[in-house]
Each structure stands twice: as C-alpha cells, then as structure tokens.
Amino acid sequence: MPFIDLRSDTVTLPTPAMRQAMATAEVGDDVLGEDPTINRLEAMAAERVGKEAALFVASGTMGNLVSVLTHCGRGDEIIIGDQAHLFLLEAGSVSAVGGIHSRQVPNQPDATLDLAQVEAAIRPADDHFPRTRLICLENTHNRCGGACLTPDYMGQVRALADRHDLKIHLDAARVFNAAVVLGVDVRELTRDADSLSFCLSKGLSAPVGSLVCGSGDFIREARRARKVLGGGMRQGGIIAAAGIVALEEMIDRLAEDHVNARRLAEGLADMPGIALDPSRVQTNIVFFNLEEGAPDAAEFCGRIAERGVKMGPTGGHRIRAVTHYGIEAEHIEQALAVVAQVMS
C-alpha cells in the first residue's frame, strides 16, 4: 500500500474473488434485459433489502437521481436534510436535471430530521407553492459522521408520510454498515422506504455500481429514468459480477471497519490540538476538528500525505477519515503515529 488512504471507502480495490468473477461473468445486453449476471444481482439485491425489484445503476448519485425523478415531476418538491449527500454533494442534480425543488430541514447530530419540522415543511394545497411529494433520508449519514437511523425512527417517518400521502426515498449508500452496527436485519432499516439506493463501491468494495430498489412498478419507471440519463450499460454483467461477490462475502466484515474507526477516533482524541468525541463514532466514518493554533485542514492533510497517510479535508479545520477493506489494525496505528508527529 503506497499510502494509508483514509479519504473514503470509495478507494477500495476489488477482492481477488471479485476479479475472478468479473473475468468469467456471463453477459448479455442489459438494455434488452438479457444480461444474466445483472439480472441475478438485481434479484439478489431486491431480496436482501425486502423489496420486489431492483435496478443496477452506475453510481449512488445516479441511483438517488433516478429515484427522485421516478417519484417527482417538474415543479414538485422534496423535503431533505440540510447535510444530506443528495442535497450537498450531487451537483444539484434533482434541480438541474429534474426541475425538482428541494426544501431543507436541519439534520440533528444523530442524522435524524425533527419530525415536527418535517411536518411544518409540507406545503399546503395552494397554486403558489410547489407540491410536496417526497421525504429523503440518509442511512448511514455521511456528514453526520456515519450516524445510523434506527428502525423505530424510520417507522415514525413512515407514519408521518402516510398521514400526508407522501413517499420516502432512502439514500442507503452505507445501509449495511448501519445494519451491522445496530445488529438488525437490513430489511428492518429499509421496509419503511418506498425506494432506496445502496452502493456496492464503498464498504462492500466492488469497483463500481449501486442498486435502486423498490416495488415492481417503481423499478419499471426507474428503468426509463435510467435510460434518460444514459445509464444503460449493455454487457454490464462484467461489473455486476463483482457486486454479487460483494453481497455474498463483504457485509459481515464491515464490523472490522467499525472497530478500526473506533480505535482511530480514540487515538486521535488523546492528542493535543484535536477535538473529537469517540463515543459519536458509530460506523466507519470519523470526523475531527483541529483546534485553534493548529494548521487548517488542507495544510494538515498535505503534511500527513507527505508521510504516507491520506485523509480528507472538508473545509476550515474539519477533517474526515474513513476505514474500509484494505485498512488493517496496523495501518491505524501507523496513521496515528504520523498524525502525532505532525501535531507535535
């Protein structure tokens, strides 16, 4: 490993089993519904999260956009957290591509949206207003430090949505991390969502791809939205094969990433000049702040990179580190030693 790369779990490399599966994958034209490996992956994904059907897409951003486009028309509105990946980090796609308005509600530190604030944000029936159609949630929540939404909270949002005839989309990019740390079947976290998109290319370590999951009718419409976005991948079974291995072999090992993240957080918290509460670290994402007098995030990350460790500056004095497949316990100790050296 030339660097201990903690910038993101998107830097994972495919496992040897994935490479073998990709090399021998049976393929066909997926746009015509004839790629057997993609068909198998989609069926497996739908069953795993308790939905009727699934659709293989190129990325989590495409998965979220396809889902919102399927739920909403031009001029409709979604309610979304102000720290949501879909709102902050997907190039304004729902507005730019779909003509869909977003209304932001503050994310709480535990990644939830206050239900009273969500209800207050729902538009009344009035020609002056966009029509509220969809509530968007995220689990685990990136900007809230990998925090997990619980089955109980999802049920409360479901009850609110039903009272107002709204749908729920779950950005479930890292939902298997949440299921592992909460000790629940992932279906308990997805059952109350009308649609969800989960990533294969983060902690599950596949090289590319996400799955949109929902009802059969929803996925039929989502397939049209994917086509609009140029998302038909023809003989995509070559990459879908790695996704099958990811679902079969890579979920249980996410617990290792959580252990490594907690060790990293505890080590960082003990260092002068670093502000971090390790008890807030639930999964594989660690955010920390450099205190007054320390270098800013960009300078700090440049200094540790010179010593073989990469982390992600997120502005000001805030830094993100993410554990993943390929990062072992000894890498965490090496990273802590480098940070200690820089901070001294």
**Are 60 and 166 within one domain?**
yes
The number of CA neighbours under 13 Å toward the Cβ of 301 is: 20
**Are 263 and 121 within one domain?**
no
Q: Give 6-15 pLDDT, tens digit per residue.
A: 999 999 999 9
**Are 191 and 276 within one domain?**
no
**Are 171 and 268 within one domain?**
no
Biggest alpha carbon–alpha carbon distance for the chain: 61
Structure tokens at 41: 């992956």
- Is the whole model's pTM more than 0.95, yes or no? yes
Confirm whether 1 is domain-assigned: no
Count: domains in the chain: 2
Name the residue range of residue 274's domain: 253-343
β partners of residue 79: 103, 135
Residue whose token pair is 């980090």: 89
Return the HEC string of the chain: CCCEECCCHHHCCCCHHHHHHHHCCCCCCHHHCCCHHHHHHHHHHHHHHCCCEEEEECCHHHHHHHHHHHHCCCCEEEEEECCCHHHHCCCCHHHHCCCCEEEEECECCCCCECHHHHHHHCCCCCCCCCEEEEEEEECCECCCCCECCCHHHHHHHHHHHHHCCCEEEEECCCHHHHHHHHCCCCHHHHCCCCEEEEECCCCCCCCCCEEEEECHHHHHHHHHHHHHCCCCCCCCHHHHHHHHHHHHHCCCCHHHHHHHHHHHHHHHHCCCCEECCHHHCCCCEEEEEECCCCCCHHHHHHHHHHCCEECEECCCCEEEEECCCCCCHHHHHHHHHHHHHHHC
pLDDT of residue 1: 56
* End-to-end Cα, the chain, rounded Å: 25
CA-CA distance, 251 to 86, in Å (whole number)? 24
The segments of the chain whose pLDDT lies below 50 read none
**Are 238 and 262 within one domain?**
no
Confirm whether 212 is domain-assigned: yes
**Are 336 and 204 within one domain?**
no
Confirm whether 71 is domain-assigned: yes
pLDDT of residue 293: 80
| CATH classification of the domain holding 243 | 3.40.640.10
**Are 245 and 257 within one domain?**
no
CA proximity to 158, closest of 179, 137, 172: 137
Question: For residue 307, how many other CB atoms are within 10 A of its CB?
Answer: 15
pLDDT of residue 344: 87
**Are 336 and 232 within one domain?**
no
pLDDT of residue 337: 98
Compute CA distances 181 → 47, 151, 224, whole Å: 21, 13, 35
pLDDT of residue 2: 79
Residue type, 150: T
Question: For residue 243, how many other CB atoms are within 10 A of its CB?
Answer: 33
| End-of-domain residue from the set 249, 270, 304 | 249
Confirm whether 111 is domain-assigned: yes
Burial (0-12, 13-18, 19+ Cβ within 10 Å), 79: buried
Q: Give 56-89 pLDDT, tens digit per residue.
A: 999 999 999 999 999 999 999 999 999 999 999 9
Confirm whether 6 is domain-assigned: no
**Are 219 and 290 within one domain?**
no
**Are 180 and 211 within one domain?**
yes
CA proximity to 40, closest of 270, 230, 245, 208: 245
**Are 126 and 233 within one domain?**
yes
Residue type, 264: L
